[in-house]
Amino acid sequence: MDWLKRKVALEALNWIEDGMTVGLGSGSTAELFLHNLKDKNIQGVASSKKTEKLARSLGIPLVETGKIDVTVDGTDVVDNSLTLIKGGGGSLVREKLVAYHADIYIVIGTKEKWKKTLHDETVPVEVLPFLHEGTKELLLSAGSYCSLRLDTNGYPFISDNGNFIYDCTNVKEVRAFHEKAVRLPGVVNTGVFLNLADVVLIGEDTGVRTERRNKL
Ligand code: 5RP
């Protein structure tokens, strides 16, 4: 699938012009896009510490601003209403910020990320460590059993914001779960990205398919 990732990452370059401020996503597909940017005269806003490190190593100047021309990021899942589920890499909160503050938000992914509808999904949720077990109970009453994400050493995974991630499984009504979860004390945000994606580029064997929200 790597060649498909490369293909969508290259296609996204068509949206980038010199002088732009570009939101830089996280994950393997977004990283391929970053490599393509190294010869462009742009400045970036990194959505994770890992992306920040890669951008610096590629010589991409970084800024922290909410005025972003275009953000390009990967996704774990996208459906035909262009709702995304993200956070497989644990960067969902900063990714949501660079998505939200961009004039144009472009999502890149390979064909297996595309689903007609979202059903029985796993939704990552970023949670404050303080009283997190209580937050887990609240998430259960919001509709899903959630388990604390662990790192490779068996310790709680810590996000770039110093928080925990709960992976909430078998979520039937993704949008309703998100709406309930974001209102809970202790929840920072969820990996459900509603009404944010403007363009989704899907890498397929025959080429790159473009799905757009009405706006563009
Ligand atoms: C990280 C993310 C990533 O964008 C998502 O996991 C996709 O990653 P990849 O391109 O490696 O499949 O949401 O929090």
pLDDT tens digits, 75-87: 999 999 999 999 9
Tokens at residue 186, please? 């202790």
Q: What is the pLDDT of residues 40-67, one digit of tens each?
A: 999 999 999 999 999 999 999 999 999 9
CATH of segment(s) 121-189: 3.30.70.260
Report whether pLDDT(131) > 80.
yes
Collapse the DSSP code of 105 into the 3-class scheme (helix H, G, I; strand E, B; otherwise coil) and give the result. strand
The domain 2-111+193-205: what is its CATH number? 3.40.50.1360
Burial zone of 73 (CB within 10 Å; 0-12 exposed, 13-18 middle, 19+ buried): buried
Going by CA atoms, what residue is nearest to atom 1 of ligand 1?
89
Q: Residue holding tokens 């004039």?
A: 103
95: annotated active-site residue: yes
Catalytic residue among 95, 121, 179, 211: 95
Residue 77 Cα, ligand 1 centroid: separation in angstroms? 9
Mean pLDDT over residues 20-38, rounded? 97
Element (DSSP H or E) covering residue 144: none
Spans of all domains in the chain: 2-111+193-205, 121-189
pTM of the entire structure?
0.96
